[in-house]
Structure 1
Amino acid sequence: MFIFIIYISPLLCATVAGMPTSFRFLLTVDGIDPNNVDKTSGVSALWLAVMFNQYEIVSILVDEFCCKVSANELDLAKRNNNEEMLSLLNKFLTNEDDENND
C-alpha cells in the first residue's frame, strides 16, 4: 500500500478557497514573492487567482502588491468568460502601459 502525500501550499489553499484575509496575511508575513509563487514553474499568484476566478484576490494583487498583468492572465480571464475580471485586468494593463510611455 502506497501513501502519497501531496504538499499544497497555504497560499494556494487560500487562493482556491477565496480567503483574501488569509491570502494577504501569507504574502505579508511569510514574505512570499507574488510574481513567483512556485519556483519550479514560475507561476505567479495573479495567474492562480485568475485561474480560480477569485476577483477579490486579483484586486489585492494588482492594487496592493503591484503585480504585473500579462497577456497570460488576460487570456485566462477571456477563456473563463469573466468580464468583470477582464475589465479589472485591462484597467491595470492600461495603467502600466501609460507609466511605461511617460
Structure 2
Amino acid sequence: MSAESLERQTRSFLNDNVPQIQEHGGHFEIEDVDDETGEVTVVIGGACSGCGIAPMTMRAIRHRLPDEVEDLSKVTVRRANGPRAAVMPNKTDEMEEMDEYEDYSPPF
C-alpha cells in the first residue's frame, strides 16, 4: 500500500466518522504516514486543545481507525502544541488512564 493511499483512507475515515471535531471548532491533521510500517500519526488541535473530552476522542480514534483502514498497524493521536494549546497535559494524561473513560463510546 502506498503512503498516499494509507493517508487518503485515514483522512476519509476521520472526515466521515469524526465530524464533531470540525463542528466544534477543532481540526485534525495527519502529521506522519509510514507506509512501510503502516503507522499513522494524527494531531488534533483548535478547540480540541482545551476540550475536556479530547482524551476520549483520541482514544476512540486510536482504537477504531485500525479496524477501518486496511494495512494500518499503529495509530498515534496527540494534541497540537503551540501557543493556542490551552490544556493541562498532566490532567489530560490522568484522564486517559481513568477507568470512567474505559468504555466511553463517542457518537462516531
TM over 0.5: no
Larger Rg over CA atoms? 1
Bigger share in strand: 2
TM-score by length of 2: 0.30
Bigger share in helix: 1
TM-score by length of 1: 0.31
RCO higher in structure (CA 8 A, sep ≥6): 2
